[in-house]
Amino acid sequence: MSKATAGNIGDGRAVDLLKDLLITELARAGVPQAEIRKIVGCDMNRVNRIVKHFPKQRGRTKELGTSL
Protein backbone atom coordinates (compact mmCIF):
# COMPACT_ATOMS: atom_id res chain seq x y z
CA MET A 1 0.00 0.00 0.00
CA SER A 2 1.53 3.31 -1.03
CA LYS A 3 1.36 6.52 0.92
CA ALA A 4 -1.07 8.02 -1.61
CA THR A 5 -3.65 5.31 -0.96
CA ALA A 6 -3.18 5.31 2.81
CA GLY A 7 -5.37 8.40 3.27
CA ASN A 8 -2.55 10.70 4.32
CA ILE A 9 -3.22 13.30 1.64
CA GLY A 10 -4.58 16.43 3.27
CA ASP A 11 -4.51 15.03 6.81
CA GLY A 12 -2.08 17.73 7.90
CA ARG A 13 -4.33 20.46 6.55
CA ALA A 14 -7.33 18.99 8.34
CA VAL A 15 -5.44 18.89 11.63
CA ASP A 16 -4.30 22.49 11.13
CA LEU A 17 -7.86 23.58 10.44
CA LEU A 18 -9.16 21.83 13.54
CA LYS A 19 -6.45 23.45 15.66
CA ASP A 20 -7.38 26.87 14.28
CA LEU A 21 -11.04 26.24 15.07
CA LEU A 22 -10.16 25.17 18.61
CA ILE A 23 -8.07 28.32 19.10
CA THR A 24 -10.99 30.39 17.79
CA GLU A 25 -13.52 28.83 20.14
CA LEU A 26 -11.23 29.09 23.17
CA ALA A 27 -10.54 32.75 22.38
CA ARG A 28 -14.27 33.45 22.11
CA ALA A 29 -14.75 31.79 25.50
CA GLY A 30 -12.23 34.18 27.07
CA VAL A 31 -9.45 31.68 27.73
CA PRO A 32 -6.05 33.40 28.14
CA GLN A 33 -3.63 32.99 25.25
CA ALA A 34 -1.04 31.11 27.31
CA GLU A 35 -3.66 28.55 28.29
CA ILE A 36 -4.82 28.22 24.67
CA ARG A 37 -1.23 27.46 23.66
CA LYS A 38 -1.00 24.71 26.28
CA ILE A 39 -4.33 23.16 25.35
CA VAL A 40 -3.81 23.16 21.59
CA GLY A 41 -0.12 22.31 21.74
CA CYS A 42 1.15 24.91 19.30
CA ASP A 43 3.43 27.93 19.41
CA MET A 44 2.32 31.30 20.71
CA ASN A 45 2.71 32.96 17.29
CA ARG A 46 -0.09 30.81 15.90
CA VAL A 47 -2.36 31.71 18.81
CA ASN A 48 -1.56 35.43 18.48
CA ARG A 49 -2.19 35.35 14.73
CA ILE A 50 -5.77 34.17 15.32
CA VAL A 51 -6.66 35.87 18.63
CA LYS A 52 -5.66 39.35 17.43
CA HIS A 53 -8.83 39.47 15.32
CA PHE A 54 -11.10 39.27 18.38
CA PRO A 55 -12.02 42.31 20.47
CA LYS A 56 -10.37 42.47 23.86
CA GLN A 57 -12.57 41.43 26.75
CA ARG A 58 -11.87 44.07 29.36
CA GLY A 59 -13.12 43.90 32.89
CA ARG A 60 -14.46 40.41 32.49
CA THR A 61 -14.20 38.29 35.60
CA LYS A 62 -14.11 34.56 35.74
CA GLU A 63 -17.52 33.15 36.30
CA LEU A 64 -16.82 30.21 38.56
CA GLY A 65 -20.34 30.02 39.86
CA THR A 66 -22.93 32.05 41.57
CA SER A 67 -23.68 32.03 45.22
CA LEU A 68 -27.10 33.13 46.32
pLDDT in tens, 17-54: 999 999 999 999 999 999 999 999 999 999 999 999 98
CA-nearest of 31, 33, 38, 26 to 48 is 33
Banded model confidence at residue 9, pLDDT cuts 50, 70, 90 = low
27 CB neighbour count, 10 Å cutoff: 19
CA-nearest of 57, 21, 23, 16 to 38 is 23
Cα dihedral 12→17→21→24 (10° resolution): 100
* Contact predicate 32/43, CB 8 Å: no
* pTM (predicted TM-score): 0.69
pLDDT at 7: 61
Banded model confidence at residue 66, pLDDT cuts 50, 70, 90 = low
